Chain A
Amino acid sequence: MKWWHFALIIPVLVAVVSPLASSSPDGLEKVAQDQGFLGRSQPAPFQVIADYLFPGIASEALATILAGLLGTLLLFGAVYGLAWLIKSRRTEGTGQGR
């Protein structure tokens, strides 16, 4: 087991409790509401997992958890891969250049 196997538990747990999130408007939405420009916002031209609700699931809490877990693991994998591709290789390996 590597350290990050344990560390990954933290974002996974956060994703699992994400249905507990406050549904009040966030700071920007609140300001937009108060100052009357919220109506300018335009809907997205396409929807994949809009509003962090995995499509086709009746329970909103379960849909949120699934969307959260999917995004959490996707970002772990994508950024791990990206970082691996661009990390410095100067001090590693057997000295052959890139």
Chain B
Amino acid sequence: MHIPDGFLNVATVATTYAASAGGISYAVREANKKLREKHVPLMGILAAFIFAAQMLNFPIAGGTSGHLVGAGLAAILLGPWASVLIMSCVLIAQSLIFQDGGLLALGANIFNMGIVASFSAYFIYRMATAALGDSRRGRLIGGFVGAWASVVVSSMFAAIELALSGASPLAVVLPAMAGIHALIGIGEGLVTGAALSLVLAARPDLWQSRVVRRSAI
């Protein structure tokens, strides 16, 4: 979902750069309050995993491929602001070094795949665990649904930016982007669920959760 240069107009580029810069500076302050020593290596591991997994496109229907975004995994494990930092670093490196995602579109890519994806995954995950209980099952189902939704919601924001830039009418580009990413999101949900269950099995203490843990069922 990396937007290349040329798709967005000047107003959209400026707005998304401003929103992402504000989001990153707030994320630094929030991480400064909440991140502990034990989360430092996990931040690095998540960034490395998200970068590598984003290279691994998997085929979906109709001659199209998709890859992990990863914001859902990071946001569910460490909270949305830490996830914004991780995603921003990945997207900056991809744009500057690997020419994946435009330089002018970097603000929009950070906004969509960093900020929007992290927060949509986090809030849907929190709603799901509130409804299903903060058990292993509730967390994994919440992780799948949150990760799936994060891809769809961020693709809709990308569609809105494309429409505002005059690339394609909203009535056409919004359902097209949401529809194709509803399929890609299934892969996102499965990989996120698998990664979360690995963390639960190996190092459950690394999973930062503000929900008071219920006694094991």
Contact = CB atoms under 8 A, between A and B. Distances in A.
Contacts of B44: 4, 75-77, 79-80, 83
Interface in A63-98: 64, 67-68, 71-80, 82-84, 86-88, 91-92
A41 B184 contact: no
A48 interface: yes
B43 interface: yes
Contact of A27 (B56, B98, B181): B181
A57 interface: no
B52 A40 contact: no
Contact of B47 (A27, A42, A79): A79
Interface string B77-88: 000001001100
Interface string A21-44: 111111110111011110011101
B10 to A, nearest CB: 14
A42 B145 CA distance: 35
B177 A83 contact: no
Q: Which of A48, A71, A79 has the most CB of B within 10 A?
A: A79
B65 A23 contact: yes
Interface residues of A, number: 60
A32 B49 contact: no
Please tell me the size bucket of the interface on B.
35 or more
B89 A75 contact: yes
Nearest to A79: B47
A4 B155 CA distance: 32
A50 B64 contact: no
B163 to A, nearest CB: 11
B55 interface: yes
Interface in B159-175: 162, 167-168, 172-173
A2 to B, nearest CB: 7
Contacts of A21: 55-58, 65, 67
A30 B64 contact: yes
A37 B90 CA distance: 26
A86 B28 CA distance: 7
Of B2, B86, B167, most buried by chain A (CB within 10 Å of CB) is B167
Contacts of A86: 28, 31-32, 35
A36 B173 CA distance: 11
Contact of A44 (B5, B36, B43, B181): B5
A26 B2 CA distance: 9
User: What 5 pairs across the A-B complex have the smallest Cβ distances?
Assistant: A80-B44, A79-B47, A83-B43, A4-B41, A42-B6
Interface of A: 2-4, 7-8, 10-12, 14-15, 17-18, 20-28, 30-32, 34-37, 40-42, 44-45, 47-52, 64, 67-68, 71-80, 82-84, 86-88, 91-92
Given A78-B89, A87-B40, 7 more contacts: A22-B57, A22-B58, A42-B5, A52-B98, A74-B97, A76-B44, A77-B44
